[in-house]
Amino acid sequence: MRSRPPRSMVLPRIVVTGPSVLEQLPAVIAELDLPERGLIVCDSNTLKIAGRQVNEYLEIGGHQMKKVVVEGANSQELLRVEDALDGMDFLVGVGGGRPIDLAKQAGFNKNIPFVSIPTAASHDGFGSARSSIRQAGRKTSMQAIPPIAVVADTTIISRAPSRLLAAGVGDIVSNQTAVLDWRLDGQKADYSEYAAALSEMAAQLVEDGIEKVASGTEEGVRLVVKALISSGVAMSIAGTSRPASGGEHKFSHWLDANSDNPALHGEQCGLGSIVTMYLHGGDWEKIRDTLKIVNAPINSKGLGMDDGMVLSAFINSKEIRPQRTTILDKTEPKAIEEAALATGVIG
Ligand SMILES: [Zn+2]
């Protein structure tokens, strides 16, 4: 593990977003002045979607490339990626969640720069410094490195299933309650007005353009991608995930750790946000309606879970990162249940 000066920000140096930007990859790597040898981390699906293309572009650009095709984001696969990193100068994660999680965690453990190439916009992980790795069968959120560059080709991302984009909307709208929870904790939690404003604005822009997002056009996809990148930047500015992770994320992490069939991260966080916004006394209906427009889950049935599991997650979310105080930590179980019922999330 490396140490950084306190209050320093580590941000991506280059972010490229738009249709067909993947072809700019060799120019991006050249601009970063990364040495020759690179490792591509992908799964069998993202290998077809973009991995082969990435390999080809980089080899044409004069890089010696190796690739590792992973199956899941777990501790064994992490070791496999770390082993494959021997003698490598940089690594490229090509994927939705798992290959990116492994690449940024392996990059962190081995101190090797990581380039992020998302193939879906289902959560803000492709631009953030946190990874989710399965250990002993359960997903755990860990400190990783933020990407040195993000190349988000919206032509590729537009082809991903609409469920993934809807989950991305869930992760973004949840920024609003994350910021409210962060503010609640105030100075103790190193609250940053700039990071909070950036995170809230990303959510706002997606809410305002939600019809465009629902239409599935490249423009709508780009709106979500940019918001998710801004979310990652807000976390880097703050030096903590707090601008984009509050009680609704603890709710989601609890489900990941305790449910046999967790839903997508963004689906859980979006739904969690409906209830925590209600508890904050804010406009929870706006969050619910935004999620509804893109067909993201707004109740336990939509998550594919029973009411008991969802309610347990809200009530027991305090077990997750107990040092991180949120509205759920400050509310009695009875009142949490009432909020879940009043918002229609359960019942
Ligand atoms: Zn998230």
pLDDT, tens digit, for every residue of 326-344?
Answer: 999 999 999 999 999 999 9
User: How large a percentage of the chain has pLDDT more than 70?
Assistant: 97
Question: Among residues 335, 328, 61, 53, which one has the least CA distance to residue 178?
Answer: 328
Compute, in angstroms, the gap from residue 50 CA to the centroid of ligand 1: 24
Residue range(s) of every CATH 1.20.1090.10 domain in the chain:
162-342
Query: Residue 8: pLDDT band by 50, 70, 90 thresholds?
Result: low
* DSSP notation for 224-241: HHHHHHHHHHHHHHHTSS
Question: Among residues 87, 97, 85, 93, which one has the least CA distance to residue 115?
Answer: 93
Compute, in angstroms, the gap from residue 245 CA to the centroid of ligand 1: 6
Compute, in angstroms, the gap from residue 128 CA to the centroid of ligand 1: 9
Compute, in angstroms, the gap from residue 273 CA to the centroid of ligand 1: 11
Compute, in angstroms, the gap from residue 35 CA to the centroid of ligand 1: 32
Compute, in angstroms, the gap from residue 124 CA to the centroid of ligand 1: 6
Compute, in angstroms, the gap from residue 62 CA to the centroid of ligand 1: 36
Rounded Cα–Cα distance for residues 210 and 340 (Å): 24
Compute, in angstroms, the gap from residue 244 CA to the centroid of ligand 1: 6
Rounded Cα–Cα distance for residues 50 and 159 (Å): 11
Look at 158-172, 176-190, 272-286 and tell me which has the smallest mean pLDDT.
176-190
Compute, in angstroms, the gap from residue 330 CA to the centroid of ligand 1: 21
The residues near 87 (Cβ < 8 Å, ≥ 6 apart) are 37
pLDDT at 188 > cutoff 50 = yes
Compute, in angstroms, the gap from residue 253 CA to the centroid of ligand 1: 10
Compute, in angstroms, the gap from residue 173 CA to the centroid of ligand 1: 10
Question: Among residues 266, 261, 260, 275, which one has the least CA distance to residue 315?
Answer: 275
Compute, in angstroms, the gap from residue 70 CA to the centroid of ligand 1: 22
Question: Among residues 297, 294, 295, which one has the least CA distance to residue 343?
Answer: 297
pLDDT at 45 > cutoff 80 = yes
The residues near 63 (Cβ < 8 Å, ≥ 6 apart) are 26, 29, 36, 37, 38
Q: Which fold has domain 162-342?
A: Dehydroquinate synthase-like, alpha domain (1.20.1090)
Query: Residue 59: pLDDT band by 50, 70, 90 thresholds?
Result: very high
Compute, in angstroms, the gap from residue 27 CA to the centroid of ligand 1: 30
* DSSP notation for 310-331: HHHHHHHGGGSSTTS--TTTTS
Compute, in angstroms, the gap from residue 179 CA to the centroid of ligand 1: 13
> What pTM was estimated for this model as a whole?
0.93
Please give the average per-residue pLDDT across 259-270, as a whole number.
95
Please give the average per-residue pLDDT across 152-157, as a whole number.
96
**Tens of pLDDT, residues 192-226:** 999 999 999 999 999 999 999 999 899 999 999 99
Q: How far is CA 322 from the centre of its chain?
A: 21
Burial class (CB in 10 A: 0-12, 13-18, 19+), 293: middle
Residue 78 in 3-state DSSP? helix
**Tens of pLDDT, residues 61-85:** 899 999 999 998 889 999 999 999 9
Rounded Cα–Cα distance for residues 112 and 132 (Å): 18
Q: How much is the pLDDT for 95?
A: 92
Q: How much is the pLDDT for 1?
A: 45
Compute, in angstroms, the gap from residue 37 CA to the centroid of ligand 1: 32
**Tens of pLDDT, residues 219-253:** 999 999 999 999 999 998 898 899 999 999 999 99
Compute, in angstroms, the gap from residue 10 CA to the centroid of ligand 1: 19
Ordered alpha helix ranges (H), the chain: 25-32, 44-46, 52-60, 75-84, 98-110, 154-158, 162-173, 175-185, 193-208, 210-215, 218-238, 247-258, 265-280, 284-293, 300-303, 307-316, 333-342
Just give the CATH number of 14-158: 3.40.50.1970
Query: Residue 4: pLDDT band by 50, 70, 90 thresholds?
Result: low
Residue range(s) of every CATH 3.40.50.1970 domain in the chain:
14-158
* Contact in structure between 275 and 343 (CB atoms under 8 Å): yes
Compute, in angstroms, the gap from residue 341 CA to the centroid of ligand 1: 24
Instruction: Spell out which residues have Cβ within 5 A of ligand 1, the ion.
Output: 123, 171
